[in-house]
Amino acid sequence: MSMTITYELGNSLYINITNRCTNHCSFCIRNSSDGVGSGIDLWLEREPTVEEVLKDIQTRDIFSYREFVFCGYGEPMMRVDDIIEICKKLKELYNIPIRINTNGHGNLIYGKDITPLLAGWVDYISISLNAKDAQAYQAICVSDYGERAFEAMLDFAAKCKKYVPKVALSVVDVMSREDIQACREIAERIGVDFRVRHYG
């Protein structure tokens, strides 16, 4: 059985390294599909090694992509040490920006501040905000960490600003306009970018 470690969306190369996640979001595409696009199955039979990830990346037409994106069917930060090892190699070989799409639970997962590890290796962190407060977040995302996940995510975003050139909070466009505006104000308050993602 072959695994989808990398896949293309637009002119970005996405890297799928884990199916583990600390959230169980009601809107997650994993609830209704095995993958994205036409026939891209993102369920992993096991987590690929760093060497397997790099080998898979190098089979691609690297310079046709504008960025590498860690985003698959799980939370990439579950494997932060491996991500950094992969990023170091990619930066050594290619001058292409690196983005991580995350739920922002990295510091909760490791019980310490991991954001300094990102310095010099990651160009863009996109964090899924998804709700305007802790209660709504837990109702939608059903985090393993309960309601404390929300404030921890915002703290993670604020800390990332010191080490990563671009940090953004994002929401899905199924929210009400009022809730989207409330989320935009949260992003403004902590001084990061804000992005509305299209659902589907």
Q: What is the pLDDT of residues 106-125, one digit of tens each?
A: 999 999 999 999 999 999 99
58 falls within a domain: yes
Range(s) of the domain holding residue 93: 6-197
What is the number of alpha carbons within 13 Å of residue 35 lying toward its C-beta? Answer: 17
Q: Is residue 51 part of a domain?
A: yes
Pairing of strands 166-172, 193-197: parallel
If you ran DSSP here, which 8-state letter would residue 179 be given?
A: H
124 falls within a domain: yes
> Is 1 inside a domain boundary?
no
Cα first-last separation, the chain: 27
Is the per-residue pLDDT at 168 higher than 90? yes
Query: What's residue 29's pLDDT?
Result: 64
Is the confidence at residue 142, as pLDDT, over 80?
A: yes
Q: How far is CA 150 from the centre of its chain?
A: 16
Q: CATH number, domain at 57?
A: 3.20.20.70
In total, how many domains does the chain have? 1
Residue 199 has pLDDT above 70, yes or no: no
Whether residue 21 is predicted with pLDDT greater than 70 in this model: the reply is: yes
pLDDT of residue 154: 98
Please give the Cα distance from 35 to 73 (Å, whole number): 8
Mean pLDDT, all residues of the chain: 92
Q: Is the confidence at residue 1, as pLDDT, over 70?
A: no
pLDDT class of 40 with cuts at 50, 70, 90: confident
Q: Would you say residue 38 lies in a domain?
A: yes
pTM: 0.93
